[in-house]
Amino acid sequence: MEQQHTVKIISAEYITHDVKRFRVEKPAGFVFEPGQATEVSINLPGMEDEKRPFTFTSLNQWDYLEFIIKIYEDHKGVTNELGKINAGTELIIGDPWGTIEYKGTGVFIAGGAGITPFIAILRSLKVKGMLPGNSLIFSNKTSHDVILDNELTEMLGSDFYKVFTRENVVGFKEQYIDEIYLKETVKNFSQHFYVCGPEKFITDICKILEDLGANAESLVFER
Domain ranges of the chain: 5-93, 106-220
DSSP, res 192: E
- To which H or E segment does residue 118 belong? helix 116-128
Residue 121: phi, psi to the nearest 5? -65, -50
Residue 171 pLDDT: 62
State the Cα–Cα distance between residues 210 and 216, nearest whole angstrom.
6
Q: 57 in helix, strand or coil?
A: coil
Please say if the pLDDT value at position 30 is more than 90. yes
Q: What's the whole-number mean pLDDT along residues 143-169?
A: 91
pLDDT digits (tens, 9 = 90+) for 51-108: 999 999 999 999 999 999 999 988 778 999 999 999 999 999 999 999 899 999 999 9
pLDDT category of residue 1 using cuts at 50, 70 and 90: confident
DSSP assignment string, 94-144: ---B-S----SSEEEEEEGGGGHHHHHHHHHHHHHT--TT-EEEEEESSGG
Residue 173's pLDDT is 63
128 close to 146: Cβ distance less than 8 angstroms: no
pLDDT value for 175: 82
Under the banding of pLDDT at 50, 70 and 90, the label for residue 222 is: confident
Three-state secondary-structure class, residue 108: strand
Confidence at residue 135, expressed as pLDDT on a 0 to 100 scale: 98
The yes/no answer on whether domain 5-93 falls in CATH 3.30.450.40 is no
Average pLDDT over residues 104-133: 97
The CATH-assigned architecture of domain 106-220 is 3-Layer(aba) Sandwich (3.40)
Average pLDDT for the chain: 94
- 106-220 has the same fold as 5-93: no
Residues sharing a CB contact under 8 Å with residue 109, sequence separation 6 or more, in sequence order: 136, 137, 139, 177, 193, 194, 195, 196, 197, 205
Residue 103 burial by Cβ neighbours in a 10 Å radius (0-12, 13-18, 19+): exposed
pLDDT > 90 fraction of the chain, expressed in percent and rounded: 88
d(CA 54, CA 116): 8
**Residue 204 scores a pLDDT above 70:** yes
